[in-house]
Amino acid sequence: MSILKVEEIGIAFGGVKAVDNVSFSVEAGTVFSIIGPNGAGKTTLFNLISGVYRPRRGRVILQGQDVTGLEPNRLARCGLSRTFQNLQVFFRMTALENVMVGRHLKERRGLLAHLLALPSTARQNRESAEIARQLLERVGLSDYAETPASAMPYGALKRLEIARALAAEPQVLLLDEPAAGCNPVETEEIETLIRRIADEGMTVVLVEHDMKLVMRISDRVHVLEQGQTLTEGRADEVRANPKVIEAYLGTHGTREASLALG
Amino acid sequence: MRALLAHRLAAPVAIALIVVALAFILPSNFYLRVAALVWISALAVIGLNLLMGFAGQVSLGHAGFFGLGAYAVAVLPAQFSLHPLLALLAGALVCGLIAFVVGRPILRLKGHYLAVATLGFGILIAMAIANESWLTGGPDGMPVSRLTLFGWRVRGASTWYWITGALLVLGAWLAVNLVASPTGRALRALHDSEVAARVAGVDVAHYKLIVFVISAVYASVAGSALALVNGFVTPDSANFIHSIELVTMVVLGGMGSVFGSLVGAAILVVLPQVLTTFHDYEHLLLGLMMMVIMIVLRSGIVPSLAALIRRTRP
Ligand SMILES: Nc1ncnc2c1ncn2[C@@H]1O[C@H](COP(=O)(O)OP(=O)(O)OP(=O)(O)O)[C@@H](O)[C@H]1O
Ligand SMILES: [Mg+2]
């Protein structure tokens, strides 16, 4: 069953078609990767799907429902969450509090109860903190729980965003370069994490430059180049596709391309 | 010790202790009166700090709400013989409603644009108060009838000291409760990253509006309290300079620090009184001290000192 469907979606910035007529369909519980050279439009595509940008044309269908142009907070209610390539962390809050914000939609939100610190609020805080702690442990950040996010290293912040997104218990999770700037050990941890998330039934849409990771983990791979679809298929199909190798040749050079796709 | 300072209730408890302790230390009614003015300012500043320090939205028009609260307890009892306490509540309600209506379009703006829009709003209120002389006495202001509670006439510096002090502690308590709740986390989150807050499901426009309304109610209640204490109101309470003073108190004491709100208010209320001994140099010294404080303690007095203590005593 297709849980996320993008139909002929497109947006332009000052005449530049950042995403142009892109369509794909993601099966529930799979890992679907979107790859392409720098500036191909991957992040823009994520922004269109997650409601950060409103598409100029095309549609986004989430769990059979047309959600095109809905605000991100409305999409969150529909079961979509994401992380950001350029970190969007709550830097004045601790790691634990960052993840607790991810629980927002699951929390009881009575303003009067909050102002008066009624027992229900204390209970809610404890419950959110408990779940946030488990998620921090899951992404390997237990030691940072009480650390202000501003004092955490880059690789840890990447995983913090994943924990925050998971806190919302989404059905569809968009990850924008989760392994960027991470060392090989961290990258492997992230790979294991994504695998486990998918095994639990969550659908993962992944943008990632680490081709080895992408090829190992993806059920399907969608290739973008200059805002347009180049090809889509199983990982081994895409890797063998001469058009893909050529696209990477243009930006990365022969050796890197064969390395990256090899 | 550090766990104690980090406790949610640290600020209201510390403020309560200060209110009680000063009652015994302050030597005369004059000082009690000044202290009551500090408590009142601090109340408005806590509200503004929820908006500015926690949610990251500036308002250069909060004296407008302060003035409306002040005039509510002046006009409503005089014109409609409403009880001053009901007038205070009516003022808070009206300010909340105005904030709700004005906030929707205004809070879509960011940064400097929001600053100018709120500035305009504040000036509008101040003009309205100054111009509607038939109701407000115009630029000369108007007297406020005395507050009576259950047949008891509230008067005297010490009585007002305790009432305003209690009001401040209540305001501080509500504020720290809010900050430590899911609503507070949503507000702090949208301060740091609106897009990430929205992705987490936070209705950013809604939460900005909530905190704007709350901060307007704080300002209104503080304004009402000042009018009742003084027994007189003037349009100055609503004017632009007062809005700037409130913002200065927030920044000086520390954005996002409830206790800092008291410190900021205390400095800006007390220092001018102290500096009057320097006659001609009063404003010069005040300005200089504010500059030095901001340069040395750049995140405001309380947060900067707290960070300093954390670093020196691990
Ligand atoms: N808000 C914007 N305003 C103007 N141009 C934009 C905007 N967002 C993206 N673009 C342009 O759209 C194109 C696609 O950018 P995008 O960030 O989506 O690429 P990407 O595939 O994510 O690249 P990378 O691998 O470097 O992250 C680029 O040419 C970029 O400059
Ligand atoms: Mg990108």
Residues A10, A58, single domain; the answer is yes
Domain boundary among A163, A193, A214: A163
Residues A174, A72, single domain; the answer is yes
Q: Which of B161, B138, B169, B163 is nearest to B149 (CA)?
A: B163
Answer whether residue B248 is part of any domain.
no
Answer whether residue A254 is part of any domain.
no
pLDDT band, residue B90 (cuts 50/70/90): very high
Residues A74, A146, single domain; the answer is no
A→B contacts (Cβ < 8 Å), by residue, are 50-52, 71-73, 75-77, 81-82, 84, 88-93, 97, 100-105, 107-109, 111, 113-117, 121, 124-125, 128, 161, 164-165, 167-168
Helices (H) and strands (E) in chain B, counts: 15, 4
Q: Which residues pair with A59 in a beta bridge?
A: A7
Answer whether residue B172 is part of any domain.
yes
Residues A157, A174, single domain; the answer is no
The mean pLDDT of chain A is: 91
Residues A28, A149, single domain; the answer is no
Amino acid B231: pLDDT: 92
Residues A75, A176, single domain; the answer is yes
Closest-CA residue of A relative to B185 is A101
Residues of B within 8 A of A90 (CB-CB) are 188-189, 191-193, 196-197
Answer whether residue A247 is part of any domain.
no
Q: Which residues pair with A24 in a beta bridge?
A: A6
Kindly state if the Cβ of A252 falls inside 6 Å of ligand 1.
Answer: no
Answer whether residue B256 is part of any domain.
no
Answer whether residue B274 is part of any domain.
no
Q: Are strands A31-35 and A220-225 parallel, antiparallel or unpaired?
A: parallel
The CA distances from residue B21 to B16, B24, B58, B169, in Å, are 9, 6, 34, 14
Residues A197, A68, single domain; the answer is yes
Domains: count for chain A: 2
Domains: count for chain B: 1
The mean pLDDT of chain B is: 92
pLDDT tens digits, B262-285: 999 999 999 888 888 887 787 888
Say how many C-beta atoms besides its own lie within 10 A of residue B127's C-beta: 14
Answer whether residue B261 is part of any domain.
no
Answer whether residue B305 is part of any domain.
no
pLDDT tens digits, A91-115: 999 999 999 999 999 998 899 999 9
Spatial strand order in the sheet of A80-82: A80-82, A172-176, A203-207, A31-35, A220-225, A228-233
Q: Is the dihedral of CA B269, B303, B218, B206 positive or negative?
A: positive
Q: Which of B174, B212, B175 is nearest to B190 (CA)?
A: B212
Residues A66, A126, single domain; the answer is no
Amino acid B109: pLDDT: 93
pLDDT tens digits, B187-243: 999 999 999 999 999 999 999 999 999 999 999 999 999 999 999 999 999 999 999
* Cα(A64)–Cα(A98) distance, integer angstroms: 31
B→A contacts (Cβ < 8 Å), by residue, are 174, 177-178, 180-186, 188-189, 191-193, 195-204, 210, 256
DSSP string, A200-228: TT-EEEEE-S-HHHHHHH-SEEEEEETTE
Residues A68, A45, single domain; the answer is yes
| CATH number of the structural domain spanning residue A228 | 3.40.50.300
A255 pLDDT higher than 90: no
Q: Looking at this protein, which amino acid is placed at residue B180?
A: A
Question: Ligand 1 atom 11: the closest Cα is on which residue?
Answer: A18
Q: Which of A176, A164, A174 is nearest to A86 (CA)?
A: A176
Answer whether residue B44 is part of any domain.
yes
Q: Is the dihedral of CA A69, A73, A74, A76 positive or negative?
A: positive
* Cα(A106)–Cα(B35) distance, integer angstroms: 44
**Cβ separation B188–A92 shorter than 8 A:** yes
Residue A138 domain boundaries:
90-163
Say how many C-beta atoms besides its own lie within 10 A of residue A35's C-beta: 27
Identify the residue whose tokens are 């500059």: B291
Amino acid B272: pLDDT: 85
Say how many C-beta atoms besides its own lie within 10 A of residue B14's C-beta: 17
Q: What is the mean pLDDT of residues B116-128?
A: 94
Residues A72, A99, single domain; the answer is no
Amino acid A250: pLDDT: 55
Closest-CA residue of A relative to B197 is A101
**DSSP H or E segment with residue A11:** strand A2-13
Closest-CA residue of B relative to A161 is B196
pLDDT tens digits, A12-38: 999 899 999 999 999 999 999 999 999
Residues A135, A209, single domain; the answer is no
**Cβ separation B192–A93 shorter than 8 A:** yes
Residue B75 domain boundaries:
10-239
ipTM value, please give it. Answer: 0.92
Residues A188, A220, single domain; the answer is yes
Identify the residue whose tokens are 């209506």: B101
A164 exposure class (CB count in 10 Å sphere: 0-12, 13-18, 19+): buried
Closest Cβ opposite residue B199 in set A82, A124, A125 = A82
